[in-house]
Structure formats: structure tokens, C-alpha cells
Amino acid sequence: MIDDLPGRFGPSRRTLLRGGLGGAAALALGAPALRAAPREVKISMQRSSVLFTVLKVKGTLAERLAPLGFTPSWHLFTSVIEPMNAGAVDIHADVADAVPIFTQSAKAPLTFYARERGAPSAEAIIVPADSSIRTVADLRGKTVGVSRGSGSHYVLAAALKRAGLTFADIKAAYLQAPEGAVAFDQGRLDAWSIWDPFLAFAEAKRPVRTIADGTGLTSYHRYYVVNDSFVAAQPDVVSTVYRSLVEAGAWMEANPEEAVALLAPIWGDLPQAVVAAANSRRTYAVEPVERSQLGEQQAIADVFYEAKLIPRRIDATDVPIFQPPTGRG
């Protein structure tokens, strides 16, 4: 039948009926129907953003977001507090428990949507193995490297307090983690308060001794945050990111050797044993944030205020929380 035939006479009647008026109108204008370009989701990362690294390298998140009309763009930062305060990206790097205290103090428009279960030994204060420093009390008058506003900043503050010292008793050298790594390796620091994977890097480069880690001071939960306006406008995107992070964490646990092989070249072709050591101190178990679990955040905020690291007292539990659907429906 002629009305079933395409070709130089144009589309068949049946094709037009199947395609609907929109398709017919586009063809009548002599142009194909256009699919809207995917919208960009700006995601920040740092070296310790392991699960985001997995999602980026494997292409998993791009695949999950495509049906929603979005595509991820990745932005690596050494210091994450500034872009968080400025709202420079949509979804922010996972950060140590102490970081949200600084951003909350600055009234940054951020919502919690996930956290990684605690891993207190993934942060530590280290000294060279041949150092005379044996305890935190021995840090009096010493130069101690630390990244301002990091989880290791809190570990140092809390360890000093426990030892009866304050920041006034030491010479704090505020260095971003890569700068601290160089300074520690060159012997310009007496001690360094740092987190994985930089902790594992340092242990691999020279013999070191841990004088304190997060045990008894902090659980070292890592929090995942998103701009308030973005989660309000795109809750499905944030839910998809959450589910993807859960899957990535489960993959890390089920495939430790593959995970090490994936991360080693990204972390500068490190020996796989070093990467494995860093991974062994993290749980990579992602879960929703419950307000009732934020008591430790308040303890961190109180220590920071007492140490004059934040300008005002804050209620660390008074934060926006997004509860992503835990199922797959």
C-alpha cells in the first residue's frame, strides 16, 4: 500500500501516526527532531574522594545520570572549603567531619545527603621514626603541619587538649596536604597531622611513628554535601548520586584488588601495597545522615570554638538534611 511506503514521497502515513504530531511537524520543516543537550552537574573532588574517583573512572555516574538529562563535570580542588562556601559547584567533595563546622560557621548554603561510616585510624599525627617526640605532650614548642579546616585540624586540636596543651603551645604550620607532604619529607616539620591517602604516602616514603590517631578523639565520618538550591531543584539527581556512591562503596569492599589497581595510577603510580594500606583504614560504607547522629559534630564545633578556630558558637546539629530514597524504585 502506498501509504505504508517511505522514500522520496516523504514518511509513510503509518510512520507519521506512530511518531505523533511533533515528529511530523519537524519532518515537515525539513529538520530532524532535536534532543536537548544534557545539563551539567558540577562535582568537586579532592585526592581523598575515593568513591567519586571510582564513579568518574568507571563512568558509572555519567551512565546513571544520562536518563535524567544530566552529565557530570569533575573539578579537583586541594582546598575544598572555599568552593563550598562560595557555592562554586553543585555537589561537593566528600569531606572530613570537621570541614562542615567551618562551612556552617561561614553560613554556607549546604545540605547533607550522605555520610561514610567512621574510620578513626585514617587520620593521624605522625613524626619521623627517629624523632625524640614520643607523645603529643612532646609537641610543645614544635612545628606541626596541618591543613586548616580539615579533619586532621580537629584531631590535632583534640589531641592537644587531651594532653593539656593548646595551639599557643605549638608552632602550627598551616599547609595544604601536598605542601605538607613536601615539608614533612624535607624535615621542615617536627610533626604532621594528616589523613589518608597522604598518611599512607608518608608512611611509604620514610619510617614514621604515629603519636596519636583519631581513636578516642573522633570517629572520622566523611560527609557528602550539596548546594541547597541544587538539591531543592534536582532531588532525583542527588538521589541518583547517593545510590551510585553506595554501589561504589560496595564494589570497593567486594573487589579490593581491583580497587587498588584502579587507584594506584591515579595516585601517582604508587606501589599497590601503599594504596591497599590507605584503603584498609576506610570503610567506604555510605549511609543516610540522621540528625540524631550529629552529636559528635557538636563536640568538634565546641573544641574549635574553644581553640578560637571559628568565630562563634554554632549548633552543629542545625543543618539541612536530605534523605535520599534508599530503594531503587
Whether residue 171 is found in the same domain as residue 50:
no
In the chain, the number of structural domains is: 2
Whether residue 153 is found in the same domain as residue 298:
no
Q: Is residue 279 part of a domain?
A: no
Q: Which residue has the higher pLDDT, 11 or 112?
A: 112
pLDDT digit string, tens, across residues 236-256: 999 999 999 999 999 999 999
Whether residue 206 is found in the same domain as residue 125:
yes
Average pLDDT of 268-289?
93
| Res. 8: pLDDT tops 80 | no
Q: Is residue 10 part of a domain?
A: no
Q: Is residue 275 part of a domain?
A: no
For residue 154, give the nearest of 27, 316, 329 by alpha carbon: 316
pLDDT digit string, tens, across residues 18-49: 343 344 333 333 444 456 788 999 999 998 89
Q: Is residue 274 part of a domain?
A: no
| Res. 6: pLDDT tops 90 | no
Q: Is residue 153 part of a domain?
A: yes
- Check: CB of residue 252 under 8 Å from CB of residue 51: yes
Of 213, 234, 266, which residue constitutes the final position of a domain?
213
Whether residue 129 is found in the same domain as residue 199:
yes
Q: Is residue 49 part of a domain?
A: yes
Whether residue 161 is found in the same domain as residue 299:
no
Of 213, 240, 267, which residue constitutes the final position of a domain?
213
Whether residue 63 is found in the same domain as residue 138:
no
Q: Is residue 265 part of a domain?
A: no
Domain interval for residue 65 = 40-119+223-252+285-306
- CATH, residue 180: 3.40.190.10
Whether residue 168 is found in the same domain as residue 232:
no
Whether residue 207 is found in the same domain as residue 124:
yes
The pLDDT score that the predictor gives to residue 18 is: 37
Whether residue 200 is found in the same domain as residue 164:
yes
Whether residue 190 is found in the same domain as residue 72:
no
Residue 33: other Cβ atoms inside 10 A: 12
Give the model's confidence band at 305: pLDDT under 50 very low, under 70 low, under 90 confident, else very high: very high
List the beta strands (DSSP E) in the chain.
Answer: 39-45, 70-76, 95-96, 110-116, 123-128, 143-146, 171-174, 191-195, 208-213, 222-227, 286-287
pTM beyond 0.85: the answer is: no
Q: Is residue 315 part of a domain?
A: no
Whether residue 128 is found in the same domain as residue 98:
no
Whether residue 199 is found in the same domain as residue 149:
yes
